[in-house]
C-alpha cells in the first residue's frame, strides 16, 4: 500500500525522540526494566550499588567493616570534629554528680619543666630536664624530671613550672608525688619527713612542700634546697 | 629528598580566669624539596602566664597575650599566686 507523504523511518528511537518525563512508572510494568538492562559502568552484584554518577560501586566504606553490631576501622582513624566526642551517657552513672559523659579530647606530647623560686625566680642552670603528658578528657597526667647544675639567687618557695596545661580553678588539693636524688633534706628547714608537690589551682605550677611530723607543712625554701647534681622526678594528674 | 624538622605553632588557646595562653607546637618532619609533610602530631606544649616575658614568643602568640593581659588580669594573677602560699 503506497504511503502518502514521507515514508516512516525504520531507525531506532533516540533520546531526542522521547520527551523528558514522557515515560514514567505508569508506562512501565513492574519488573519491566531490571538492573542488567541499565547502562552503567562497573559490575552489578549483591555487594555493589548504583551510584548517582551512573556507576556500580562496592557497598560500604573503604577501611570500615561492620558485623555483629560492631563497626571496625581497618585502616585510618576515627576523626571527631572539635567540640564533639564519644558519648557515654547511656552507661550507668556513679553516685556523684555528673558534669559530663562526653569523652571529647585526647592528646599526648612533651613539655619542658622549669625550676625557680616563687619570690625571686633566680637563675637556673639545667643539666637535663624533660617532661611528657597525656590528656584524656579533662584529666592531664604528666611525668617530668629535672637535674640541676645550680639554682642561684632564687628566693621563696621552690617551684616546678612549665606544666603543659593550666589547671582548673577547683584543683586545690591536687598532690604530686616526687622523688629526689642527692637533695640534702637537712637543708629543708631542719629536715622534713617527706616532700610532696602541691599543684596550684588555675596555674601551671607545682610548689614543693615539706611535711614534718607534728609540725605545720611549709614550702621548701628554694635558696637552700638545690645544689649541683640534685635531681627531682615528679608526676601527677590534674583537671583542666 | 632531604627530611628536615620544622616546628610550628598549631594551636593558641586563652584559658581560665587569668587568661593563661596555652601554646601547642607541632614538630613536623618535612620534605625540604617539596614541602610535603611526612610526619605530624609530635606535640610540645607550654603555657604563658600573665606578665611573662614575651620577647622570645612568635608574633601571633605575643599579640594574643598582649591583647588579653590587661593590668587588672596581671594584678589578679599575682594576687592569686600569693594566695597559693599556705
Q: Which chain A residues are within 8 Å of B46, Cβ to Cβ?
A: 111-112, 162, 164
Nearest by CB to B17, from A110, A163, A202: name it.
A202
pLDDT of residue B29 exceeding 70: yes
Q: In which residue are the cell numbers 604528666 written?
A: A142
Instruction: Map B8-24 to HEC letters.
Output: EEEEEEEECCCCEEEEE
Tell me what pLDDT residue A2 has: 65
What's the pLDDT at A225?
67
Out of A107, A166, A218, closest to residue B15 by CB: A166
Calculate how close chain B gets to A115, using CA atoms only, in Å: 14
Is residue A13 scored above 80 in pLDDT? no
Q: Is the ipTM of this complex over 0.95?
A: no
Helix (H) / strand (E) element for A224: namely helix A222-225
**Rg (alpha carbons) of chain B, rounded to whole number:** 17
Residues A88, A91, A96: CA angle, nearest 5 degrees: 95
pLDDT the model gives residue A234: 97
Report CB contact under 8 Å: A162, B47: yes
| Contact assignment for B22 to A108 by CB distance below 8 Å | no
Question: Vertex A208, ends A182 and B50: CA angle to 5°?
Answer: 130
The Cα–Cα gap between B55 and A56 comes to 60
The answer to whether the Cβ–Cβ distance between A112 and B18 falls below 8 Å is no
Residue whose C-alpha cell reads 619570690 in the numeric block: A119
Q: How many CB pairs under 8 A join A and B?
A: 65
First-to-last C-alpha distance (Å) of chain A: 96
Q: Does residue A180 carry a pLDDT above 90?
A: no
Q: What residues contact A35, with CB distance under 8 A and at least 6 apart?
A: A44, A50
Q: Alpha-carbon distance B47 to A124, whole Å?
A: 19
Q: What is the mean pLDDT of chain A?
A: 86
Contact A166 B44 (CB under 8 A): no
Amino acid at each position: 500500500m503506497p504511503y502518502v507523504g514521507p515514508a516512516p523511518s525504520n531507525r531506532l528511537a533516540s533520546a531526542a525522540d522521547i520527551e523528558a518525563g514522557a515515560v514514567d512508572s505508569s508506562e512501565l510494568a513492574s519488573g519491566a526494566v531490571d538492573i542488567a538492562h541499565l547502562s552503567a559502568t562497573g559490575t552489578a552484584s549483591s555487594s555493589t550499588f548504583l551510584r548517582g554518577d551512573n556507576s556500580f560501586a562496592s557497598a560500604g566504606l573503604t577501611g570500615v567493616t561492620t558485623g555483629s553490631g560492631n563497626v571496625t576501622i581497618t585502616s585510618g582513624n576515627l576523626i571527631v570534629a572539635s567540640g564533639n566526642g564519644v558519648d557515654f551517657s547511656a552507661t550507668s552513672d556513679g553516685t556523684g554528680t555528673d558534669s559530663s559523659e562526653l569523652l571529647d579530647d585526647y592528646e599526648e606530647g612533651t613539655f619542658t619543666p622549669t625550676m625557680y623560686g616563687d619570690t625571686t625566680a633566680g637563675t637556673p642552670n639545667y643539666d637535663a630536664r624533660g617532661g611528657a603528658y597525656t590528656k584524656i578528657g579533662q584529666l592531664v597526667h604528666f611525668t617530668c624530671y629535672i637535674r640541676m647544675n645550680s639554682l642561684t639567687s632564687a628566693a621563696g618557695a621552690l617551684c616546678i613550672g612549665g606544666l603543659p596545661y593550666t589547671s582548673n580553678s577547683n584543683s586545690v588539693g591536687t598532690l604530686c608525688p616526687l622523688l629526689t636524688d642527692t637533695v640534702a633534706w637537712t637543708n629543708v628547714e631542719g629536715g622534713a619527713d617527706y616532700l610532696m608537690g602541691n599543684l596550684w589551682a588555675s596555674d601551671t605550677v607545682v610548689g614543693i612542700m615539706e611535711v614534718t611530723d607534728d609540725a605545720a607543712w611549709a614550702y621548701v625554701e628554694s635558696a637552700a634546697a638545690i645544689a649541683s647534681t640534685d635531681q627531682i622526678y615528679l608526676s601527677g594528674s590534674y583537671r583542666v | 629528598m632531604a627530611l628536615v624538622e620544622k616546628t610550628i605553632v598549631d594551636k593558641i588557646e586563652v584559658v581560665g580566669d587569668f587568661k593563661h595562653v596555652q601554646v601547642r607546637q607541632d614538630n613536623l618532619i618535612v620534605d625540604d624539596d617539596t614541602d610535603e609533610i611526612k610526619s605530624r602530631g609530635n606535640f610540645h606544649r607550654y603555657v604563658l602566664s600573665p606578665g611573662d616575658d614575651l620577647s622570645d614568643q612568635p608574633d601571633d602568640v605575643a599579640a594574643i597575650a598582649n591583647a588579653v593581659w590587661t593590668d587588672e588580669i596581671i594584678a589578679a594573677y599575682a594576687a592569686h599566686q600569693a594566695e597559693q602560699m599556705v
